[in-house]
Amino acid sequence: MRRNWKSIIVFVALLSLGAGCVISAQSKEEDVAVIVNPQNSLESISSAELRKIFAGEKLSWNSNTPIFMVVRAPQAHERDILLSRVLKMTESEYKQYWVKKVYSGDVPREPLALLSNGMQLEAVRAEKGGIALISLADVRQGVKVLKVDGKQPGTAGYPLK
């Protein structure tokens, strides 16, 4: 009887590892949406403009509303997309970049790093100038999804995957 329990435990453990790999692989293919507060008049954004915003080079929207950047904490898929596709930086380059920007006085603060997409959603809903990158599957009402380079998330050629 003991041997059967050990076999079952080993089987369940291996099954869990396999499922984790499948989930991880799926999340790596998932589109990442650019969300803003619904009061933002923008409908679309270019990759170049997105880079300027998340690099702290553009600090306010056309309405003079201050931009409030929200990012995921390190290790999140959305942060990987931000770094690799938008900013083209490594994690350490990103950290050094923002330390330099803040201490030189170029920006008042670095982007707010949050642990979950739900937290990002709430922050963007609450801040008129809010912008974040979030998994398309986690988008909920109360935020606006922007087209990037004229393409909607989930369509062919969308740049943030």
Q: Is residue 12's pLDDT more than 60?
A: no
Residue 153, in any domain of the structure:
no
The answer on 9 and 78 residing in a single domain is no
Query: Is residue 75 classed as helix, strand or coil in its secondary structure?
Result: coil
Residue 154, in any domain of the structure:
no
The answer on 77 and 91 residing in a single domain is yes
Neighbour tally for 76: CB within 10 Å: 21
pLDDT at 30: 86
For the ranges 23-27, 77-81, 125-129, the lowest mean pLDDT is seen at 23-27
The answer on 40 and 25 residing in a single domain is no
Residue 89, in any domain of the structure:
yes
**How many independent structural domains does the chain possess?**
2
pLDDT at 51: 98
Sign for the CA dihedral angle at 104, 86, 43, 117 comes to negative
Residue 161, in any domain of the structure:
no
Exposed / middle / buried, residue 4 (Cβ in 10 Å: 0-12, 13-18, 19+): exposed
Q: What are the tens digits of pLDDT across the range 105-154?
A: 999 999 999 999 999 999 999 999 999 999 999 999 999 999 999 999 99
